Amino acid sequence: MDSRGRVTSHLSGLFYRTVNLLEEGIVPIYVFDGKPPEMKRGELDRRRQVKEEAARKYERAKEVGDVLSQRKYAAASSYLTNEMVDQSKELLQAMGVPIVQAPAEGEAQAAHLHLRGKSWAVGSQDYDSLLFGAQRLVRNLTITGRRKLPNKEVYVDVRPEILELGSLLKSLGISREQLIDVALLVGTDYDPEGIRGFGPKRAYSLIKKYGSLEAAASAGEVDLSQLGAELSELREAFLHPKVVDVESDLEMEEPNEEAVMKILVEEHDFSEDRVQGALSRVRKALVDLRGSSRQSGLDKWF
């Protein structure tokens, strides 16, 4: 927090992580979520309840002085406020980093940008990116090479993982539409329960055998009434999500160093020396980027 008690960890993580990516020759495009589709309300309510329960457990741990549990439940109950999102956008724009505001799902918008040739890949932990049509998904996009396991004080080594949708579908012998049917059986953010009794292997075998959920239902193998919404509506959420076209090239621009210093140092008490040092790294990274293609930074990892 800064001297006025405002949380600043989101700004610190965003600033220094972005500097690290730029040094690796990667120009990130940050896509911000818009209004979630109505179908996602149930999943969002569930996540809210989980955070509220974690907040209650944090208070109980605080009362008894259980520091480890406090850390665990503080992390589980944290969330981004609208103010934090606005601050993040302001900082990225001052850095010259491209941002896009999605009308709805950020994953869908990122996949759309990728399909329009605006990016080399979609960087996300969410496999839904593939359901939205991203042809190349990069997971574990981290500079440190380590990640904390959920709800544990344990860190594991991770490496970037790349998934090519075309190769994946070819190896499975199914289409993207059939992959969506597999996901709907197992459960998605739009219908978390899916259909009872189906895990990934059984769902894949069923779609591989019958070709579609309708055909499987006609054969009496599955009860589509268990889905949380109409099948056509669930499919459409992935095949034709709400997105916007972006005409600009979404290239890195010259950073406004004065604005960055004002946001981080003057407003939020960051170390002036550290921020200046990071900005000098950005200047050097920009010189290197101008002599290479955007994707070269990621390309060399695989």
Position 300 scores a pLDDT of 61
Position 172 scores a pLDDT of 97
What integer is the mean pLDDT of 83-88? 96
Highest mean pLDDT among 42-51, 59-68, 111-120: 111-120
Q: Is residue 198 a contact partner of residue 226, using CB atoms and an 8 Å limit?
A: no
Q: Which residue has the higher pLDDT, 147 or 26?
A: 26
Q: Which residue has the higher pLDDT, 251 or 298?
A: 251
φ/ψ of 274, rounded to 5, equals -65, -40
Q: Per-residue pLDDT tens for 172-181?
A: 999 999 999 9
Position 292 scores a pLDDT of 67
Q: In which element (H, E) is residue 148 found?
A: strand 146-148
Provide the phi-psi class of 173: left if phi over 0, else alpha when psi is between -120 and 50, else beta.
left
Task: Indicate the average pLDDT of the chain.
Answer: 90
Q: Per-residue pLDDT tens for 181-213?
A: 999 999 999 999 999 999 999 999 999 999 999
Q: Is the pLDDT of residue 128 over 90?
A: yes
For the ranges 2-6, 11-15, 111-115, 135-139, the lowest mean pLDDT is seen at: 2-6
Enumerate domains of the chain plus CATH numbers: 173-239 (1.10.150.20)
Taking the C-alpha atoms of 187, 192, 198 and 202 in order, what is their torsion angle to the nearest 10 degrees?
Answer: 20
Tokens of 280: 């000098």
